[in-house]
Amino acid sequence: MRIRLSRLLIALLAVGVAAPASAQASIGEARRAAGQAYRRSMSEARELYQGRRGPEQADTFSRKVRVGRDGRVSISNISGTITVAVASGDEVSIDAVKRSRGDRGQLSRVNIIVEEHPGRVDVRTEYGRPPFPDRLFRDDYVSVDYTVVVPAGVSLDVSSVSGHIKVDGVRGSIRFGSVSGNITSSNTPKVEYLRTVSGEVALANISQDGSLSISSVSGNIDLTDVRARALDLNTVSGEIRLRDAAVERLTSKGLAGNFEYTGTLARNGRYEVNSHSGSVRFAIADSPGFELNAGSFSGAVRSDFRMTVGGDGTRDIRPRRGPRSESLRASFGDGSALLNVRTFSGSISILRK
């Protein structure tokens, strides 16, 4: 197994681009670099090994726990799917399937822990420490797929590292977390927090009187039928798409992904959207009025609504030809809602739906 030094250097460079040019390689750094190269080559070995896996082994697990109609449920997994559905009653029923492509010994090293408390149940997957060298291959070798049925009124805390999460019908407050697992939910009005690195996020039927905060690094964020008093979105390269949206207070920070809001503006709402190169697009049904503060270094600004700029008569806002650095302050109607949009190169469009 050759150490791929070039790949290693590229990796280091990519991270260190903005570091001071005077950084010298020290012995310590060389040692760290070597360690990283070793781990890389081990993970390559694992990838090869996995191609030669054996037949699937499986183990099932089943438990019912009483929590009450508005109890709290938490589920924490590493690899494998989590599916949550609702049923009447006050019981939580947990069904899980452990799967492994190695020997049965692997299965027994993974434990499903269910902790019961009055009004609360915590479910999690635990990996016992395997012996070396298996330790390096431990991760997605054994997966656990959960199917959990809960009373509709419970509040839920679900997290997974790489497995996908799917929730439908839970009406209590919900918090989601994943590293790379996708997160999908529907008929879940009270989602309040979601955080992922690269998982794809698709939430539907949100009706949040409080606030909903969603953060991803590269995962796209797709919300459909979302009503919220406050919505906070944060991503580096994910796309943000809000459809059938009625949000009163919105803050969105993106960098490379596009932002799109289709829906209505609340009469006295406030919308702050920041982007670097991603475009920002509002497609709104008629509105009693809004004030637009749009600023961009090189992105074009346009509006389907005839706007009043600085107290003069109304005019069209269309992209201007030639070099432009836009900084626009205009209003439409009674100017009651506020749109603050800032981009670097992304275009800014306020369209009529």
Partner 1 sequence: MTVNRPDGSAGDLVARCQAGDVDAFAELYQHHAGRIFALTSRMSGSPDAGEDLLQEVFLQAHRKIRGFKGDSTIGTWLYRLAINHCLDFVRSRQARMDKVTNSIDDDMTPPAAGRDTPIERIDLERAIRQLPAGCRAAFVLHDVEGYEHREIAEMLGIAEGTSKSQVFKARLKLRAVLA
Partner 2 sequence: MTPAHPEGVTLDDYVDDALTATERAAVEAHLAECADCRELVADLRGVLAAVSTLEPVQPPRTSWTRIEQTIRRGSAERRTPRWPWLAAAAALILATFTGLKLAGVWQQRPASGLTALAPATDAQAVEAELLQAEQHYQNAISGLERIASAEKGSLDPQTASTLEKNLAVVDQAIGESRAALKSQPGSEPAQQSLLENFKTKIALLQDTVALINEMRKGNDASASRLVTGLKQKGT
Q: What residues line the site for partner 2 (CB under 8 A)?
A: 11-12, 14-20, 23, 29, 32-33, 35-36, 39-40, 43, 76-78, 124-127, 129, 139, 157-162, 175-180, 193, 195-198, 213, 215, 217-218, 234, 236-237, 253, 255-256, 274, 276-277, 295-298, 325-327, 342-345
> Out of partner 1, partner 2, none, which partner does residue 175 contact, by CB within 5 to 8 A per kind?
partner 2
Tell me, what DSSP letter sits at residue 86? E
> Out of partner 1, partner 2, none, which partner does residue 270 contact, by CB within 5 to 8 A per kind?
partner 1
Q: How many residues bind partner 1 (CB under 8 A)?
A: 21
Please give the Cα distance from 133 to 57 (Å, whole number): 21
Name the amino acid, one letter, at 235. T
Which one among 72, 164, 171, 195 touches partner 1, defined by CB under 8 A?
A: 171
Alpha helices in the chain (DSSP H): 5-16, 27-50, 104-108
DSSP 175-243: EEEESS--EEEES-TTEEEEE-SS--EEEEEEEEEEEEEEE-SS--EEEEEEEEEEEEEE-SS--EEEE
Quick one: which segment of 122-130, 203-211, 212-220, 272-280 binds partner 1 (CB under 8 A)? 203-211
Closest CA to 100 of 137, 155, 153, 47: 137
**Is 186 one of the binding residues for partner 1 (CB under 8 A)?**
no
Please give the Cα distance from 167 to 158 (Å, whole number): 9
> Out of partner 2, partner 1, none, which partner does residue 29 contact, by CB within 5 to 8 A per kind?
partner 2
**Residue numbers at the binding site for partner 1 (CB under 8 A):** 69-70, 152-153, 171, 189, 207-209, 227, 229, 246, 248, 266-268, 270, 291, 335-336, 338
